[in-house]
Chains A and B, each alone.
Chain A
Amino acid sequence: KAGVTQTPRYLIKTRGQQVTLSCSPISGHRSVSWYQQTPGQGLQFLFEYFSETQRNKGNFPGRFSGRQFSNSRSEMNVSTLELGDSALYLCASSFGTSGTTGELFFGEGSRLTVL
């Protein structure tokens, strides 16, 4: 079956702009998590959505937001981009059954460069 698909794969923005990243999870997966990966900070948890509801949120400013649609596809948005937002943004899907922490299936990521 198809894996997790993230678009776009690469993008370049300038400071102050905003960006929207998309993630299509594996069919049947209802949980989508977003992570930011940078060389200095490693993998940082942004948020997790399950059945269109945000269940968990990491310690990121309000400029980072997300949503999930009824088909489980998810988007994340970063407004007023800063240089420090340059990173690889990874989306991961899982079944997300409440009460368990299952295996995460990661997409290839969206590499954002902010100039």
Chain B
Amino acid sequence: GQQVMQIPQYQHVQEGEDFTTYCNSSTTLSNIQWYKQRPGGHPVFLIQLVKSGEVKKQKRLTFQFGEAKKNSSLHITATQTTDVGTYFCAGSQNTGFQKLVFGTGTRLLVSP
């Protein structure tokens, strides 16, 4: 079945440093979503990418969808302590239905 892996599993940075998490799917995706889960919280939607090679920015966050639509990345510039949490990518195959396969997640810790 479809698998979505993320690396790294965990990263600890100093405030102000950059951070990147990578997401790789075993199958071609129709679209990919990113979610953030704060400690003790629930996943919150960040963005959805649909087109091959698509790049979207949200303030300090930059999201990319690979040309082959099998990988994606999230880059955070100049991290802040509020960025702490686990970042999940979630991919959907070309089924047209709401079956999202979540990646393994990258836990980010930011020290002041």
Give A contacts to B, CB under 8 Å: 31, 33, 35, 42-45, 48, 50, 55-56, 58-59, 90, 92, 94, 96, 98-109
Contacts and interface: CB of A to CB of B under 8 A. Distances in A.
B98 A50 contact: yes
Contacts of B43: 43, 90, 92, 104, 106
Contact of B42 (A33, A45, A59, A108): A108
B97 A107 contact: no
Contacts of B104: 42
Given A98-B96, A106-B44, A107-B42, A45 B31 contact: no
B45 A104 contact: yes
B28 interface: no
Interface in B1-58: 1, 30-31, 33, 35, 41-45, 48
B45 A56 contact: no
Contacts of A103: 33, 45, 48
Q: How large is the interface on B (under 10, 10 to 19, 20 to 34, 35 or more residues)?
A: 20 to 34
A105 B45 contact: yes
Contacts of A107: 42
Contacts of B44: 106
Nearest to A106: B42
A101 B33 contact: yes
Contact of A102 (B35, B42, B98, B102): B98
Contacts of A48: 97-99
A92 B89 CA distance: 15
A101 B45 CA distance: 13
A9 B57 CA distance: 35
Contacts of A43: 43, 88, 90, 102, 105
A101 B42 contact: no
